[in-house]
A and B are shown apart, each in its own frame.
Chain A
Amino acid sequence: MSAAIRIQQVSKRFGNVQALDGIDLEVQRGEFFGLLGPNGAGKTTLISALAGLVRADAGSLSVMGHNVQSDYRAARRHLGVVPQELVFDPFFTVRESLKIQSGYFGIGDNESWIDEILENLGLTSKANANMRMLSGGMKRRVLVAQALVHRPPVIVLDEPTAGVDVELRQTLWHFIRRLNEAGHTIVLTTHYLEEAENLCTRIAMLKAGRVVALDTTANLLRRFSVHSLRLRTDGVMPADLTRGGAENGGWWSLPFDGFDEVEPLLARIRDAGCTINDLEIGKPDLEEVFVRVMQGHPQGQLN
């Protein structure tokens, strides 16, 4: 069975910017995949190449086994893209926009699915409002809705939660999760790493047009990040302990690998005559992984 997305040796140059530099990536059907990277890493360019908005200089891309150039009709029918930019057509209402978008995909009678999308995105009451009258967050919802009118098996969301409120995030992720459970492949880019950590089962990190990390979220967390003991004490901490740790606003952060190390650590601190005033366990998080990978941490080269 062909992969949901297959990207092979894709490069793209804009003037003297190498936006994509030999990207290889495969997303399997049913995955919830995260595409992360700093501003300008090439995420949007890669998505645009997949959608046919940008033509790759080299390499090939396919969606559900359909090449995006030679078999663009099938490729596009299988792909739904939520663009990063908040765009809308001011001439139409929400429902008109969705009907027109359905028509572009050759779908005539799409009312019940449109109603379902509107309902799930909390747009029902805005269905007949003109696009111009909607708030930014509402326009973002319509953008998501437009990407879904043709029930694409592969859905790509380019920073869908940039500048939207908590409510929409929760509604959106609830809906997208359900689509994922129903078998849709989801690819997500976001700068909210917590979001990616919670949602994505596998993650690729891009930097300057290259894939610098690619693994399951769990593996990335395990490999690049560690637990830490965070505490505030009275007295002077033993020097050999603090060497590997860091202090911030009176809090010490001491890394450890396994929980069996916690008790000995605490014992050492007590033996040094320190009283612990406050204590918490810091869990590995994707932000730390991200920072380490982007700093070119040696393990960042691993795939």
Chain B
Amino acid sequence: MRYGGFSTLLYKEVLRFWKVGSQTVGAPVLTALLYLLIFSHVMEGHVKVHGVIYTAFLIPGLVMMSVLQNAFANSSSSLIQSKVTGNIVFVLLPPISYLEFFAAYVLASVVRGLVVGAGVLFATFWFAPLTFAEPWWILVFALMGGAILGSLGVIAGIWADKFDQLAAFQNFLIMPLTFLSGVFYSINSLPLFWQQVSHWNPVFYMIDGFRHGFFGVSDASPWLSLAVVSSCLAVLTTFTLNLLKRGYKLRA
């Protein structure tokens, strides 16, 4: 391991969640597994999506939802804990630039997202025939989705002064965005109005593009999804870097 502000902070952030892996990895994998058991039991045999049996369709959605939610949880909870307990000074006192700070927190979020995502995939792929038609899309959308939610987590963690504010951010923004994004269904099955609403939800493109990697078919073109998701990432990165550069709520 090369020592420096960035690599050490990344290492520390990964170690932090790994040390409590049963909560940070085990629990979300179990949750996703429960979703799969319940939904596939209720829906199986009733619907096929894009010619794919429902359980197989559901698995990539659950995997990606877990990647996204856990990427958000990692940076946001680490930052709010450090702020509330005051140990954020350990990161603010050393010569760590705002770029290194950003990169380390976001990358650690991506790692957590991928670890949980891999766990969910491993726990669920026994339940249905799954293909990996265009695997690079899987990787691209997992990485970018994780980075976007990790970035949102940095924003939320810095903005929130208390745990309940963070919970509000999570419950009123992150959860609706991830649930109403086609994790459990194809948006083509929705009424027209809700289809249009879904097209404004960037998380829809993350999940749709991710799923395309498995089945080679999707609601939207993966290139459109890539364009939307990478624009989102660019905007959020710029915004977050600007917050950090100004020292917003971190350096009074």
Chains A and B are bound partners? yes
Give the B-binding residues of A (Cβ under 8 A).
Answer: 14, 48, 51-55, 72-74, 76-77, 79, 81, 83, 85, 87-92, 96-97, 100-108, 146, 150
Cross-chain contact B87 with A88 (CB below 8 angstroms): yes
Count of A-B contacts judged by CB separation below 8 Å: 85
Bound-state CA distance A126–B209 (Å) is 51
The 8 listed contacts between A and B (C-beta, < 8 Å) are A53-B93, A53-B251, A76-B93, A81-B89, A91-B20, A92-B15, A104-B95, A108-B2
Q: Is there a chain A Cβ closer than 8 Å to B86's Cβ?
A: yes
Cross-chain contact A108 with B3 (CB below 8 angstroms): yes
By size class, the interface of chain B is 20 to 34
Cross-chain contact A87 with B252 (CB below 8 angstroms): no
Tell me whether A100 and B252 are in contact in the complex, defined as CB-CB below 8 angstroms, given that A53-B89, A55-B247, A85-B86 are known contacts: no
Bound-state CA distance A116–B199 (Å) is 60
Q: Please indicate the chain A residues that have their CB under 8 angstroms from the CB of B19 in the complex.
A: 91
Across chains A and B, which 6 residue pairs bring their CB atoms closest together, nearest first?
A103-B8, A104-B94, A108-B3, A87-B86, A73-B95, A76-B95
Output the least CB separation between B94 and chain A (Å): 4
Q: Please indicate the chain A residues that have their CB under 8 angstroms from the CB of B82 in the complex.
A: 89
Q: Mark B78-90, 1 if CB is under 8 A from A, else 0.
A: 0000100111011
Output the least CB separation between B44 and chain A (Å): 42
Give the A-binding residues of B (Cβ under 8 A).
Answer: 1-5, 7-9, 11-12, 15-16, 19-20, 82, 85-87, 89-97, 247, 251-252
Output the least CB separation between A209 and chain B (Å): 15
Bound-state CA distance A107–B89 (Å) is 18
Cross-chain contact B247 with A101 (CB below 8 angstroms): no
Output the least CB separation between A196 and chain B (Å): 24
Output the least CB separation between A153 and chain B (Å): 14
Q: Please indicate the chain A residues that have their CB under 8 angstroms from the CB of B4 in the complex.
A: 103, 106
Bound-state CA distance A160–B82 (Å) is 21
Tell me whether A76 and B247 are in contact in the complex, defined as CB-CB below 8 angstroms, given that A90-B85, A104-B5 are known contacts: no
